[in-house]
Structure 1
Amino acid sequence: MRLVTLKMSAVIAASLLLGACASTRNVNTGPKQPTVVRNTAHYDMSKRAPADRDGYQPPNKLAVLLPLTGSAATAAKPVRDGFLNAYYNEKRARPPLKFYDTSKGVSVAYAKAVAEGADFVVGPLLRDEVTSLFAKPDAELTVPTLALNRAQAATPGGSVSYALTPEDEAMAIANAMRSAGLKHVLIFTTADTTQRRAADAFAAQYKLQGAMASAPVVVNLKSETLNADIAGAIAAEAKTNGKIDGVFFTTRGDVVRAVVPMFASTPVANVPRMATSQIQLGNSGATDMPVLDGIRFPLDYDVESQGAGKAASRLRDFGNDAWLITAYLGRIASGEHRLNGMTGKLGLNNAGLIVRDPEWSIYRNGVPVSAP
């Protein structure tokens, strides 16, 4: 993970970082995360007022759980601002809204919100808080929640999980590549923890859709045999699992620029390529940017890899979309509709996770432009 200005980057890491997923080849990433079970519970909208024609159906009394004090308050502030901006921009009837500070304990904040009559809870924001809250028995988790992070286990029935993480970005790319008909994708990553997480998430999502994703090829730019290593990995993957029809990079741009020229005369010389938003990093002063031409990537998707100013802007968008999900939960829970949010088109899958179709960019003449 790229560490940007200390104050903001530390908070983002604390609030949005989920920890490593399953290990990649030749890298020790620690214990494997628990398997997430699919959430097939019905989202009960019967206690809310009838939905408007566009699906607007907010809860009756709303609580938002955020770390309003302490070190994590820096990350919470843009989320709060974005949520309030969207809330007040809605001119129809809105539910009473109250914020609860989780810095003294998420269980205390949740219990107080429920005791004061909230019938829907947004938050918490910190990964450990979400994990703690979602670990509660059903008898204690009486009010459904829109968590603003991913827990280490399944999202409880009736609740929702929404996050901006490397995993979410990678899953969106996997969905896009699979929708394009690509059946076998070769993954390139590095020893970086954030990039490993994205590689693992991509592979898992691709395999869930009945397609083939390679074991991640870990690139080490300092290797004296890098060219042979890359050619060997491509040849071995093609020999073992058949024709490769796509490449996915979860690396910085300098790594991509070093690797792509090595594709010449290999089976992946002309296949479609996609990358995470980290491809925009490591390119300052580079004179070989056209090497990246044709590579598609999500536009400013993963806040963990951005500078403080851009991350804060994205977190405001995140807060904006948290209100939309809250107010239109019944609409997206039907599976027939998506919301046009600030962070992309938002839907809800059967695991209780918000899925996102982000805006896409593509490199043309060495410059990223909006992709059709």
Structure 2
Amino acid sequence: MQKKFSNRIRQYLCIALLSVPFLLQGCSPSSLTDASDTAIQGDVSIEQANALLTKGKKREAAQTYYAAAARYPSPQRERVILQAAEIAASIGDVNLTNSYLAKTPVSALDGENRGRLAYVKALLALQQNNPTLALRTLPTNLDSLSPALREKVKHVQQRAQAMAGGAAAQTIQQAIVPTSVNRIAALLPQSGSLGGVSQEIYRGIEAARNNLASDASVRMYDVNASGALTQYQRAVADGADIIVGPLDKESLAQLLTQPQILTKPLLSLNYLTNSRNIPGALYQFGLLPEDEARQVAEFASARGQRTAIIMAPASSWGERLANAFHTAYQAKGGQVINIQQYPDNPSNAYMQNVQNAMAATQGRASMVFLAASPSQARLMRPLLAAQAPGVPVYATSHIFSGRIDPGKDADLDGIIYTEIPWVIEALQAGSLNNSAFPRMYALGMDAFLIAKNLPSIARNPNTQVNGKTGSIRLARNREIQRKLLMATFINGVPQALGQ
């Protein structure tokens, strides 16, 4: 009965896809002949959705699919919701698409539906004229997808590549550069889910000001998603030379809806990579995980390691890191010979993932790139060491919690990973555990350093500043780029590589 049920869902959704030229890719009519003729609850609603889609009423069709989804158990329910999201994404309706995606958390999805979730996000990015984000979001392990979904992923990939290869995707307005910086405003939330992180960032800003014996003043402005514009204008009226923040993407997006009010430089603490028009006031800074993945690719390539396995969790974060590493590694002449997506929640299935990777590569891999959290890496590293003892494992700073715990982190010994200078400095000074979020503290210190020195940094593009989050330089699109230290674990404690 379960198989018949799944076939029935596949039949109706395939019919739906055949009705939309853009969504047609990979849906073969032969799959319709396999479906059971047994009637199931919900036929009428899905038939209505099919009819609406055939008539070109996509929004109504998406809403009907979503309504019909409630009649089915998992994983069919999520599959129908993702169909609704796919149609909403195809018409570029951000709010409608995201409302459906919110009902399909990654943890509730099986492998095929996780791939479909990534595809829908990429499709939406493409409809928003953001080919870079689309390419970064697409699933990387196509072998695990059904033929129909695989073809649709390839179709979006081709469109995104063509779009990215055309005229410049972004218009970058002439930079607003302050003549001097004496008053700094910090737009940070003082409460809510980001309240604790923001306090640590502000502590870092204050520490940098004190360490530099600077005469610059810093004032905090409490900001949330609905108040970013008001607080920015208030800070400018109070005489701020530069505004640091906001931290969350929603507040930053709100500011960019009215670029004409951005009369003073804005050093954001996050990135909006889908911005087509970069205002002259905007400088973007943050702890971008893709930067670290690219650095690992370059470092391993320079060591002559040219065949890689990627192991990443089945999550949007895992997809981002895997894509960033893959692209950078190929650019350096490397070849990714296997990609393994493992369960996002720590699982006993990790052994099977590792064994699958080793069996598929048959000893040809010269390195492993591991995208992982601390708990995931502690489980994965011993398995990799047992299955392929001579193959080096690389990772990003996300494998280290920022809290010294040799008992747990001994399992990470030997991993080579990217780390910010401040973590190594604080560890050597014995003060690392004094900070709840050491990397956010370092972000605050460097935010002040960049803000205070922006007049010289902005006018001299080749300037590199040795910061606490890495070696800092300003890219042509006014994004702050970082180069981190390479570190490893010895007896469960991080140490700069080569020391």
Q: Confirm or deny that 1:170 pairs with 2:293.
A: yes
1:274 lines up with 2:359 in the alignment: no
Quick one: which of 203, 212, 223 aligns to 1:90? 212
Match of 1:355 among 466, 477, 481: 481
Give the whole-Å Cα distance in 2 for the aligned partners of 1:83 and 1:363. 29
Alignment correspondent of 2:369: 248
8 Å CA contact 1:157, 1:352 repeated in 2: no
Shift of 1:65: 1.0
TM-score (normalizing by structure 1): 0.71
Query: Across the two proteins, how many residue pairs are aligned to each other?
Result: 321
- Find 1:262's aligned residue among 383, 387, 390: 387
Aligned residues of 1:346 and 1:357 also touching (Cα < 8 A):
yes
Letter in 1 for 2:339: P
Please say if residues 296 and 362 of structure 1, whose CA atoms lie closer than 8 Å, have aligned partners that are also in contact. Answer: yes
Q: Where do residues 38-77 of structure 1 align in structure 2 (5 Å cutoff)?
A: 42-45=174-177, 47-48=178-179, 58-77=180-199
Alignment partner, residue 102 of structure 1: 223
Q: What does residue 268 of structure 2 align with? A: 147
Q: Give the aligned partner of residue 326 of structure 2.
A: 203
1:254-282 deviation digits (Å, cap 9, x = unpaired): 11221233236xxxx54x4311234447x
The answer for the alignment partner of 1:186 in structure 2 is: 309
Q: Unpaired segments of 5 or more residues in structure 1?
A: 1-18, 49-57
* One-letter amino acid of the counterpart of residue 361, structure 1: A
Quick check: 1:230 aligned with 2:357? yes
Distance (Å, rounded) in 2 between the aligned partners of 1:90 and 1:133: 30
Q: If the length of structure 2 is used for normalisation, what is the TM-score?
A: 0.55
Structure possessing the higher relative contact order (Cα contacts under 8 Å, 6 or more residues apart):
1
In structure 2, distance between residues paired with 1:121 and 1:132: 15
Distance across 1 between alignment mates of 2:333 and 2:237: 46
- Call closer, same or farther: CA 1:262–1:244 in 2, change over 3 Å: closer
Match of residue 51 from structure 1: none
Tell me if structure 1 keeps the 8 A contact 2:471–2:484.
yes
The residue number in structure 1 matching 2:429 is none
Note the C-alpha offset of 1:336. 2.0
2:250 partner letter: D
Kept in 1, the 8 Å contact 2:486–2:497? The answer is yes
Partner of 1:321: 446
Give the equivalent residue in structure 1 for 2:470. 344
Alignment correspondent of 1:3: none
Shift of residue 100 of structure 1?
1.9
What is the CA distance between 1:227 and its match in structure 2? 5.6
What letter matches 2:397 in structure 1?
Answer: S
CA distance in 2, matches of 1:193, 1:368: 27
Structure (1/2) with the larger helix percentage: 2
Gaps of at least 5 residues in structure 2 are 1-104, 134-168, 424-431
CA positional deviation for 1:204:
3.9
The Cα of 1:81 is off from its aligned counterpart by 1.5
The whole-number CA distance in structure 2 between the counterparts of 1:132 and 1:204 is 31
- For 1:62 and 1:87, locate their aligned partners in 2 and report how far apart those are by CA, in whole Å: 11
Deviations 1:296-330 (A, max 9, x none): 11236999xxx996542322221111001112224
- The answer to whether the 8 A contact 1:39-1:350 is kept is no
